[in-house]
Copies of this chain bind each other. A is one copy, B any other.
């Protein structure tokens, strides 16, 4: 069937708007205007703004998971190098935007995590999937002796990613890489038991 508009396009546009402007600061009309679709089509695809937000979060999570998997799955590099490559590339991506946006999952966790159960749960699901993927690579690093073994791979993965998110917040108000760089440096030191 030939549809004029596609749900995935609306989600992609909404993802970009919410990532850069926030959830409460992005109105349905912003999305309609950006996609040039009538309101009826939007509400044909999505039950509510909350439902839309949930699907945006899910799509973002999947998309970033694939990106993560691409880098961490490239066994040309050692496990630790792959992890460093991922966060290095994330810093560079944010650098290009002057750290103004950051990670949508991280942003929405703080903006709506305490207010909306549905969105908080979706964020948690996606976050856990990332951590699992990172954990797998850390386990490989532990197996080859690159990463300390006095913590489980999962614990270290959580720590690594949470710390990095904290750095992104600082970089956002400073519009500067310092926060994320500091966290990058020290957390990887810790992972290596240094």
**Which A residues are within 8 Å of any B CB, using their own CB?**
20-22, 24-25, 99-102, 106-107, 109-115, 120-121, 123-124, 127, 151, 155, 158-159, 161-170, 172-175, 178-179, 182-183, 186-187, 189-190
Residues of B close to A186: CB separation below 8 A: 151, 155, 159, 190
Residues of B close to A169: CB separation below 8 A: 106, 109-110, 113, 162, 165-166
Given the known inter-chain contacts A159-B186, A162-B182, A190-B186, please indicate yes or no for A113 contacting B173, CB distance below 8 A.
yes
- Which of A20, A21, A165, A170 neighbours the largest number of chain B CB atoms within 10 Å of its CB? A170
The 9 closest A-B CB pairs, nearest first, are A166-B166, A100-B114, A113-B172, A24-B24, A162-B166, A165-B166, A163-B163, A113-B173, A109-B169
